[in-house]
């Protein structure tokens, strides 16, 4: 499975990334083509059972394959998968039948929008509102930092139900199909993952048929919780992908670059640097695999996934810093392509729980005390 995913990455994805501008998001037709290829390998809807068009593989197996895909693309796969999982877990049979086939086959791009300019780590601060006018839902608000949104066809928007009020219980989700309910969006110019899709969407009286309301708060909760937990380990594996590339490049460079009459790999401190990088990669990988394995076993995985993502992001970021040092000044040059990996790994500290929030999630499991809001979780 690992080899099949690696072949897909090396043969079908990497050359496409190389052919396009490194600083701009890939065009939509290119994304759709890559999605269709990924779908053929069963990686677009890994969590859906085969009967529902997915591949139904275990999450550890999925993680091992996912790790091979370049993060500018795999971040989009996560967003697509989040959209698919949400419709599958919480949607009505009619919504599943109507919306899932195009997403699962990679014919349409999906995303999920929760974050807003004033609502990030605290999802209870969401202000995007939906109100009902007969058979139509009317959306108003702004979503920000949403993967895939600039080119998406389908977006699941988390909103406050204006009919029922503004408390946590009144959060609902609406599927916005862009061809019938157009909205404005723009790409956000960020430090890394620059060929990927990250953007903002503005809803101004956006009208959506009422049949697109997702309104089953209970039914899908367990599936969705697992989805978030898996995502943390997967983002950790994106960091591993980047640091592994840096390790490979640093080993090669250290074997040919000569200073003081010998290759720099023969200097003891360079060997220590390489050892540190390799240790960070391996430890991060194993923590992420372990977290996914715990999920596969159906055991509680809040702490394990939080620990894995936070450790992997921090350790791999440090590893990339060290890899840049192995390259000396060349590590700073764009042509060496190491600084690009460093900018990409920096992006991973934020989605699916910032490092601070993940520390609090892990700390809550260790202590039984909820530090977010200072309320004891256990008696
Ligand atoms: C690459 C990328 C992809 C993303 N994709 C999506 C997506 O597809 N859909 C989506 O909805 N969102 C997405 N996001 C948004 C992401 O989920 C949010 O950015 C994240 O939740 C943090 O919110 P924020 O940026 O507003 O930071 P804030 O919540 O404002 O946090 C700012 C700082 O305060 C710290 N902080 C906040 N609260 C606490 C606390 N209680 N204790 C200690 N420290 C705290 C944070 O750790 C951080 O350092 C993505 C972001 C990125 C970078």
Query: What confidence tens digit (pLDDT) does each residue in 30-88 have?
Result: 999 999 999 999 899 998 988 888 888 999 999 999 999 999 999 999 999 999 999 99
User: What are the structural domain ranges in the chain?
Assistant: 2-104, 110-214, 221-376
Would the CB of 236 count as within 6 Å of ligand 1? no
Which ligand 1 atom minimizes the distance to the CA of 143? 11
Terminal-residue alpha carbon distance, the chain? 45
Class of domain 110-214: mainly beta
Report the mean per-residue pLDDT for the chain. Answer: 94
Which of 145, 150, 242, 349 to probe ligand 1 with, by most ligand atoms within 8 A of CB?
145
- Do 110-214 and 2-104 fall under one CATH topology? no
- pTM for this structure? 0.96
CA distance 200 to 301: 31
Architecture (CATH level 2) of domain 221-376: Up-down Bundle (1.20)
Would the CB of 196 count as within 6 Å of ligand 1? no
- Whose CA is closest to 250, among 362, 338, 352, 133? 338
CA of 353 to the centre of ligand 1 (A): 6
| Superfamily of domain 2-104, CATH level 4 | Acyl-CoA dehydrogenase/oxidase, N-terminal domain (1.10.540.10)
Would the CB of 198 count as within 6 Å of ligand 1? yes
For 354, counting Cβ atoms within 10 Å of its Cβ (0-12 exposed, 13-18 middle, 19+ buried), the class is middle
pLDDT tens figures, 248-280: 999 999 999 999 999 999 999 999 999 999 999
**Residue 279 corresponds to which tokens in the numbers above?**
């240790």
CA of 115 to the centre of ligand 1 (A): 8
pLDDT tens figures, 196-234: 999 999 999 999 999 999 976 555 666 777 888 999 999
CA of 120 to the centre of ligand 1 (A): 5
CA of 308 to the centre of ligand 1 (A): 18
Which ligand 1 atom minimizes the distance to the CA of 353? 21
């Amino acid at each position: 499975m690992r080899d099949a995913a690696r072949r897909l990455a090396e043969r079908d994805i990497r050359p496409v990334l190389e052919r396009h501008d490194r600083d701009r998001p890939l065009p939509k037709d290119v994304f759709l083509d890559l999605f269709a290829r990924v779908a053929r390998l069963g990686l677009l809807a890994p969590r859906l059972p085969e009967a529902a068009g997915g591949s139904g593989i275990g999450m550890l197996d999925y993680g091992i394959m996912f790790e091979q895909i370049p993060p500018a693309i795999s971040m989009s796969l996560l967003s697509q998968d989040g959209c698919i999982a949400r419709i599958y877990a919480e949607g009505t049979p009619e919504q599943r039948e109507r919306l899932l086939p195009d997403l699962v086959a990679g014919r349409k791009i999906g995303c999920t929008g929760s974050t807003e300019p004033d609502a990030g780590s605290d999802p209870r601060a969401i202000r995007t509102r939906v109100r009902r006018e007969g058979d139509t839902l009317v959306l108003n608000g702004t979503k920000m930092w949403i993967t895939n949104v600039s080119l998406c066809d389908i977006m699941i928007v988390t909103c406050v139900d204006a009919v029922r009020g503004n408390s946590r219980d009144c959060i609902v989700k609406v599927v916005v199909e862009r061809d019938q309910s157009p909205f404005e969006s723009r790409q956000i110019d960020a430090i890394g993952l620059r060929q990927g899709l990250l953007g903002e969407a503005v809803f101004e009286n956006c009208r959506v048929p009422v049949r697109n309301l997702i309104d089953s708060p209970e039914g899908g909760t367990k599936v969705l919780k697992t989805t978030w937990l898996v995502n943390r380990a997967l983002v950790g594996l994106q960091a591993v992908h980047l640091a592994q590339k840096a390790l490979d490049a640093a080993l090669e460079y250290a074997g040919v670059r000569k200073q003081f009459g010998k290759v720099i790999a023969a200097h003891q401190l360079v060997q220590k640097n390489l050892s540190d990088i390799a240790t960070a990669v391996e430890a991060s990988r194993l923590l992420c695999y372990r977290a996914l394995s715990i999920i596969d076993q159906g055991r509680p995985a809040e702490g394990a996934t939080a620990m894995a993502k936070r450790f992997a992001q921090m350790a791999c970021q440090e590893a990339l810093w060290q890899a840049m040092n192995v390259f000396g000044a060349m590590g700073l040059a764009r042509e060496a392509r190491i600084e690009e990996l460093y900018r990409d790994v920096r992006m991973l500290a934020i989605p699916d729980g910032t490092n601070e929030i993940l520390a609090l999630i892990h700390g809550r499991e260790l202590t039984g005390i909820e530090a977010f809001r200072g309320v004891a979780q256990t008696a």
